[in-house]
Amino acid sequence: MARAIEVEEGSGNVFADLGLPNPEERLAKAGLAIRIAGVIRARRLTQASAARILKIDQPKISRLLRGQLSGFSTERLMQFLTLLGRDVEIIIKRAPRSRRQGHVRVIATA
């Protein structure tokens, strides 16, 4: 007989669900890194050529593309996007009444 599997709905932030510190910042950095990787892939850049554009060494590009983001600030990741020819906009708005605290999100358009 099959055993029932208990499923818990996530909050939308895996870092918060895992109880990691600074989950909002981690989620924002992950979103930025995903966009950086997408631009590198779309432009068919090698890690070495991406490193030259971003003015960092290739091992750091490798870490970034593997999601090892502890050595990168949110600001630095945004700078990488601008170096890759992307505009970064920061929009501040009131959180809905259903939430007391605001959220940080990364949204990309074409």
User: CATH number, domain at 35?
Assistant: 1.10.260.40
Q: How confident is the model at residue 110 (pLDDT cuts 50, 70, 90)?
A: low
Q: Give the range of the structural domain holding residue 71, as residue numbers without chain letter.
A: 21-83
* CA–CA distance, 35 with 67 (Å, rounded to integer): 12
User: Count of domains in the chain?
Assistant: 1
Integer CA distances (angstroms), 74 to 1, 3, 36, 104, 108, in order = 49, 43, 12, 11, 15
The answer as to whether 44 is a domain residue is: yes
What does pTM read for this prediction? 0.83
The answer as to whether 99 is a domain residue is: no
* CA–CA distance, 50 with 63 (Å, rounded to integer): 13
Higher per-residue pLDDT: 2 or 18: 18
Are the C-beta atoms of residues 36 and 80 closer than 8 Å to each other? yes
* CA–CA distance, 54 with 33 (Å, rounded to integer): 13
The answer as to whether 56 is a domain residue is: yes
What tens digit of pLDDT does each residue of 7-44 get? 888 888 888 889 899 988 999 999 999 999 999 999 99
The answer as to whether 16 is a domain residue is: no
The answer as to whether 27 is a domain residue is: yes
The answer as to whether 89 is a domain residue is: no
What tens digit of pLDDT does each residue of 49-105 get? 999 999 999 999 999 999 999 999 999 999 999 999 999 998 888 888 888 888 788
The answer as to whether 63 is a domain residue is: yes
